[in-house]
Structure 1
Amino acid sequence: MNSIRLTRGALFLAAAALAPLAQAQAATCGTAGAKPLTVGTVARVEPGPARNFTLELGVREGVIVDIASLAAKATAGDDEDEHDHGDAAATPVVQTIRLCDAKGNVLAPQPGEVFVKGGSLTNTEDGQRLRFYATAAGTYLVSVAASGDAREILVRRREGGTIAQPVVSASLGRAQKGITSSGTPMVFSFSGSAGQWVELKSTSEKDTLLRLAAPDREGNYAVVAENDDSDGLNPVIRRKLPSTGTYYVQVDSLSDEPGEFELSLEPTTAPKPPPPPIALRAGAAVSGKLADGDAVVVYALPVVAGKSYRLELTAEYDGVVAIGVPNPVEPEDGGSSADAGFTEIKSQDSGTTGTEKLNFTARGNGQVLVRIKSFGIGETDGSFTLKAVDL
């Protein structure tokens, strides 16, 4: 069966990676003008500036605070896209609600809860939900950010509420150990300096994930890197830290069963830039060699607008040929392989041996990157032949 894989919106994804996730700030908690909230009742929040509320809680009392917009939802036939845009819980959290003690000290969410998963603040279909567990009886403050929409706020009791898992203080040069599962990710913090390169790696028998959150110049946090399996099942993040401050690392898991892991946090040097692509011309065959199953070779093919081309890759093993464009975004694993600056547009892999043929038409004048890799070279020496045909 012919298998042509097309990466949709590859260019748009590469561009989006350049933009950090915005973290809107809720208002500063205060008692001025604060209205009382009662557990189990709904209060209306009028459009306009930020609002504050007071909430009386008992010791070891858990609550859920929901803020929801009253604006009419778009229905089919409106200008909204009718396609499913995914679960609201998977959308980056833009903070609109926070809970403080009576002195205005923020208790939830904490900076280390910037990650979509595992924090006390999550998105809902109509707004946001904040979970909190009171360790002492007294008056608490709930602050809601400004909005042009009318909203409603509801406080409910949370039976069996527990204290949120604390952020573990760590430092570069010292490994950390922990236990994580898909339901209980762990978060670590460390101090870093602007311009410093770090390597973060989680080693486990389970399939873990790493996420790194960084502060900007205003002190707001955004997730700047995420990695799943750069080293087998072990995720690796190599990044240049954008600013001086406290960083947060979340170790998550794809397994429901808890599993042990070791997190290494090491200072490192900047990766070497990837080697320049090898020149490839239409009508001329070139020979190459993959050293092993992980090796990659990249070529640059000049193209002319409106012309169609065919790439022919011949090898005695399962080779894959792909076309792509240069990608200026630093890879999250800090890799320096030949395709570190490559964003795939289309690939071809229809058989285990023989010749793979990939056809495409150039939209404009310029060059296309051609990537050669394999699913393993087996007992061969990795040799291949590549030819670009002007159709």
Structure 2
Amino acid sequence: MPYVSELQGRPVADVEGERIGLLQDVIATLQQGMVRPVIRAIVVKRAAGTLVVPYEDIAVFLAPAIPLNKRLQDIVPLKPTDDDLYLIRDVLDKQIIDTNGVRVVRVNDLELARLNGHFYVSNVDIGGLGVLRRLGVARVAQRVADRLGRKLPPGTIGWEGVELLPGNGPMRLKVPSDRLTDLHPADIAEIISDLSRHESQQFLEALDVETVAETLEEVEPEFQASLVETMTSERVADVLEEMSPDEAADLLAELPEDRSEEILNLMEDADARQVRKLLAYPEDSAGGIMTTEYVTVPPHLTAGQAIAHLRATAQEAENFFYIYVTDPQNRLLGVFSLQDLVLAKPQTPVKEFMLGRLITVNLLDKQEDVAQAVSKYNFLALPVIDEEGRLHGIVTADDALDKIIPTAWKKRLPRMYR
């Protein structure tokens, strides 16, 4: 199969055999309904400048000296559009996302394939062979490997499995992209951690608000703050509304106070109110690390009524493994698990299967104390109450253990409670 790097520098001659210059670049574009870019022109470097020759004017594309089927004066130069890619200038040596391997890789070469008289970009070479080929020593390296009885790994991925990243040149991210939004937020977080700050910011700008929120929750607050630095306050507010209140509060705490206040003023009142509440407590206290997203039921319900109540009221809650029983003053009376609820007979009152002896923490308890309680009792979350026993939030195990377990390890804990 031919490679783009092998075409670079080849002489180009018109139909009369007159040499007009050297191939400098190859232009490709994605046509509607196609997953691979089709070659539509070459860029010829001449003493007088460059000439963009349409593919239709090329007699033999893969010849050692590329002949055209027209005289130089008869060629009508192609005018590139914003959708065109200069394969050498815009793609070689640039970073791309391998959406199959979920990683950031570098383009060392591009493999071409012929179909129905046209050439397409078929594969991206991300291996060492691509580098050797561009250095002009690939064949020598291959012969040496053959003598040693070894195979040089090809290191290629299909073009349809990559996404272009914005970089220093005019390369663009292809958006919208089902492949990117289908990736797990933890995978996207790992991708942006491999990029520069500028590239990460551009990458996130191309994603929808919900995906950005889920991705930011996978990285440290300091990194979160750097990623939203260039976002408009309106977009940051939209992102924070999609994040859990405790994560949103952590991010805002890393921003300058005036910007944090500006963003809070742009958020929906209910969301802003929850975040302001968390920001009022010390950062390393139970109140500072708790989330206000939890589910409650009144004590007079039966199991069947409790299920109906949760269906109507608990759509926004993520931590759904414990259900808390509270009175009209929001005082905590008991707790039961989702398993307890599902296994109970519909007519059984929740008072009969709820746990009344509660392990709780107070708003100002230190995070280290909360972590010890989580570890000791092996709970997925602990309720946070005030001096009068009123429920204010819950601390999930991952947030409680943040000071004990390194964040890189904590992110790999099972997501049962996150």
Does TM-score exceed 0.5, indicating one fold?
A: no
Q: TM-score range by the shorter chain?
A: under 0.3
Q: Which has the larger radius of gyration?
A: 2
Relative CO higher for 1 or 2, CA cutoff 8 Å, sep ≥ 6? 1
The structure carrying a bigger strand percent of its residues is 1
User: What TM-score do you get using the length of structure 1 for normalisation?
Assistant: 0.22
